[in-house]
Amino acid sequence: MGVPHRVALAHVTSYDFAMTMHRRVLASLPFLMLAVPAHAQGPEEHPLIVLPAEPPPPLVLELPPYPEFVPFIRVEKPRLAKQVRAMLDAAMQTDDSAAVAAVVKFAQQTQPYDKDEIRDLQRAYLDRRARELAAKTEAELARIRASGPLELWKGQIELGAFRSTGNTDNFGFTAAFNFNRKGIEWEHIVQARADYQEDRGVITREQYSASYQPRYTLNEGFFTYARTQYERDRIQGFEDRYTLSGGLGYRVLNGRTKTLSLEAGPAVRRINYVDEPNETTWSVLTSIDFDWKINPQLKLTQDASAYVGSDNNTFTSLTALESGLVKGLKAKLSYAIEHETSPPDGSLKTDTISRFSLVYGF
């Protein structure tokens, strides 16, 4: 094992010595050429090369240090154009979420590279609107809880004229009021109306009605109700008619512009006729209440009810169109139909009334 090692070492030492001598010879060539006289050089003789005694210093390249990593330069994100940002800010200052959605849609189409920033602006707007609505709702609930029984009432007073056909054909005067109080679970509705007309000292129409209806909300759609109602109409054949009913209701629509509710339940009616014996009857009451706010100045309402009994059925319908005039004051045009399947003797089955009136709301 020791012999091959010495052989290899001797071989390496001889090679290094030969290379060292070769470099020394090459380095001394310039000096040998200077030492040879010019006349000693024959035409065919090669010049003598003298190698330097010491080898030249090694060639060293001075280069800048190589970086260990690629440098990172922080650059800000591309920013949305000022004009587009101003348009979005102006839209988001309003409470119209639909308009904001439309502006955001067009902004994303025209600025596709800024979709993320536009989406962040919209998300911040929606979050702010949600917080504002939640705070507003909580404040309204606190106000309702702290209110007394005579507070939170809203109402309308109506004065006008009417034209009737059927049992009478004439013009008269009408007056009505409607009070409404909405709480968290309870709602109270009080209504009254009076139609009166005289012709040459003779009363040709004298109709009065009043009702009170409480509602209790069970959940988002269903509610229970009770109703008490008083009516007087001598032209139609009865001195007094009292109605007591109750049942279940359902809110089909409950939006900002459209509301629709349906009611159904049993009813008992006590009727004091003018010329016939008094009677008490049982019936089934169904009703519909529809309101449509077409625009801030125009509103359409439709109220209808049906009392279906064994001896007599009563169907009523009231269609009205309200138009705003000034703040708090509206003009109202309405058409009412009342139909009795078995009216008292001498009375027609159907009465219609067209009214024009002014309505003051508070």
Question: For residues 89 and 220, what is the distance between their CA atoms, to the nearest angstrom?
Answer: 36
pTM higher than 0.95: no
Using the predicted structure, report yes or no on whether residue 99 has a pLDDT greater than 80.
Answer: yes
Using the predicted structure, report yes or no on whether residue 309 has a pLDDT greater than 60.
Answer: yes
Phi, psi of 357 (to 5 degrees): -150, 165
Mean pLDDT within 93-119:
88
Each residue's pLDDT tens digit, 113-163: 888 889 999 999 999 999 999 999 899 889 888 888 889 999 999 999 876
Question: For residues 82 and 326, what is the distance between their CA atoms, to the nearest angstrom?
Answer: 41
- Which residue is associated with the tokens 């380095």? 27
Cβ 100 vs Cβ 92: under 8 Å:
yes
pLDDT grade for 318, boundaries at 50, 70 and 90? very high
Residue 223: HSE in the Cβ half-sphere, 13 Å Cα cutoff: 22
- Which residue is associated with the tokens 């705003």? 324
Question: For residues 190 and 222, what is the distance between their CA atoms, to the nearest angstrom?
Answer: 21
pLDDT grade for 168, boundaries at 50, 70 and 90? low
Mean pLDDT within 199-212:
85
Mean pLDDT within 10-26:
45
DSSP letters, 31-57, are HHHHHS-STT--TTPPPPPBB-SSPPP
- Which residue is associated with the tokens 């032209």? 235
End-to-end CA distance of the chain: 119
Cβ 330 vs Cβ 322: under 8 Å:
yes
Instruction: Supply the pLDDT for residue 154.
Output: 93
Phi/psi region, residue 152 (left: phi>0; alpha: psi -120 to 50; beta: rest), is: left
Using the predicted structure, report yes or no on whether residue 330 has a pLDDT greater than 50.
Answer: yes
Cβ 245 vs Cβ 265: under 8 Å:
yes
Q: By three-state DSSP, how is residue 174 classified?
A: strand
Q: By three-state DSSP, how is residue 288 classified?
A: strand
Amino acid occupying residue 122: Q
Do β-strands 238-254 and 222-233 pair in parallel, antiparallel, or remain unpaired? antiparallel
Residue 164: HSE in the Cβ half-sphere, 13 Å Cα cutoff: 23
Question: For residues 57 and 23, what is the distance between their CA atoms, to the nearest angstrom?
Answer: 12
Cβ 25 vs Cβ 54: under 8 Å:
no
Q: CB neighbours (10 Å) of residue 18?
A: 10
Amino acid occupying residue 308: V
Q: CB neighbours (10 Å) of residue 155?
A: 13
Reading the block at residue 277, the tokens are 């014996």
Nearest CA among 268, 208, 205, 204 for reference residue 232: 208
Instruction: Supply the pLDDT for residue 47.
Output: 63
